[in-house]
Structure 1
């Protein structure tokens, strides 16, 4: 699954604005297939934004660096 860096959330807003403008033009021109495709893309974009915002609320856990066990050779 592709994850989005939370710093990129403003870029997702820009992309959504552009998609809405393109969808409006497609609807005005009667391009029904284009409208459907843009609606689907907008749905995926909004879902990805929600997932990213959810991940920003989860505190990261430091698992530390694993150590080498004594007596084990490679």
Structure 2
């Protein structure tokens, strides 16, 4: 997923440069917002990659009760 996000970022940067060159201010503003959200997603991906996928909860102990 991280690789795909990098590809999308590279494409957006190129499209933003073209929009700036053409004077498409609305497009430029929209791409800035998209880039900001994309970079947040990239940071989240990095954060989640370092987290373990499973949590060891252990095996519950069997408690034997004495009969009366």
Report if TM-score (shorter chain) is over 0.5: yes
Structure number with larger C-alpha Rg:
2
2:35 counterpart residue number: 42
Gaps in structure 2 of 5+ consecutive residues: 59-68
Q: After superposition, what is the alpha-carbon deviation per residue over 1:32-67, rounded to whole angstroms, capped at 9, x for unaligned? A: 000000000000000001011101111221458xxx
Aligned length: 57
Give the ranges of 4+ consecutive aligned residues of structure 1 lying more than 2 Å apart after TM superposition: none
* Aligned-residue CA RMSD (Å): 1.4
1:54 counterpart residue number: 47
Q: Which moved more, 1:10-19 or 1:54-63?
A: 54-63
Superposition TM-score, scaled by structure 1 size: 0.71
Superposition TM-score, scaled by structure 2 size: 0.77
